Structure formats: structure tokens, C-alpha cells
Amino acid sequence: MSEKRLPLQSEDIKKIIPQRFPFLMIDRVIEASPDKVVAIKNVTVSEHFFVGHFPGQKVMPGALIIEAMAQAGIVLYRQKFDNDKVLFLSSVKVRFYNPVFPGDQLKVVVTTIKLLSKMGLFKAEAFVGEKKIAEAEIACGSQDAKTT
């Protein structure tokens, strides 16, 4: 990946990962190295998913928190490898601790567990302020990877 000045804004992020509105789940990258990425998602009341999740008390879906983690993981992978065909594959050992509400700023911290040219395994944690929201291990892989 070519050298970018931090923070990376949404237009910079769209040059690194394939997701687009309404599924782009990170708004800014404030730290990026081959070992760690810190990304921000500003959760607003106008998010499309709040219409049905849940009308009585709006809560960010856990699957979208995992997606934010995965997108930050792809940014981390791209710090070392110039492969634009990498996608989220799976999440394991996922734990949710607290809900995310409109007005929260979700901070996603992703660190490398193992990084190879065709795949990456990352530890991801999500926070609102100092409160841990979720943690997971996230795997991503290249669309070009051969499967047997």
C-alpha cells in the first residue's frame, strides 16, 4: 500500500477496502502500521440499520461491529501486502460485552496474530471510550487463494 498520511478519511479508506456505503463500517483510521490499526466508526442516529434494530431502543447490530473489525483487519493486511483482492473470511472467539448506541464513537483496535501473503489472522477489540464492547479473532484471505 502506498504511504498515506494519517488520519485516513473515508475516501482514503475506500481506496484500500472494497466496501461502500451503506456497508462501509469505518470512518477514519487514526493509526496504521504492519502490526496495528486503530479505526473509528462514528455511530449516528441516521444509520440505516437503526430503522429495524431495534425500534424501541436503537442498538448497533453485533454483526456490524464484527464487520467494522474485519474492515480494520483488511486495512492492517494492506499495510504489508499490496493485494486488493482480500476479503473478510471468518470470526472466531467472538465476545460481546456492551451495546453500542447512536451517538457513540466505536474505536476498533486490530493487531496481527499471523500475516501471510494470502491470508491474515488478527486480534480485534472494539471500545466506546474506555469500555470494551467486543473482542474477536478475525481472518481474512485473498480471493485469489486456491481452495481444495
CA distance 148 to 146: 7
Phi first, then psi, for residue 140 (nearest 5°) are: -130, 160
| Gyration radius of the chain's alpha carbons | 15
Identity of residue 43:
V
Catalytic residue among 4, 14, 53, 118: 53
CA distance 123 to 109: 8
Contacts of 1 (CB under 8 A, 6+ apart): 16, 78, 79, 82
Q: Is 53 in the active site?
A: yes
C-alpha cell at 78: 494492506
Q: What distances in angstroms separate CA 111 from CA 33, 78, 145, one per listed residue?
A: 9, 13, 22
Residue positions annotated with a catalytic role = 53
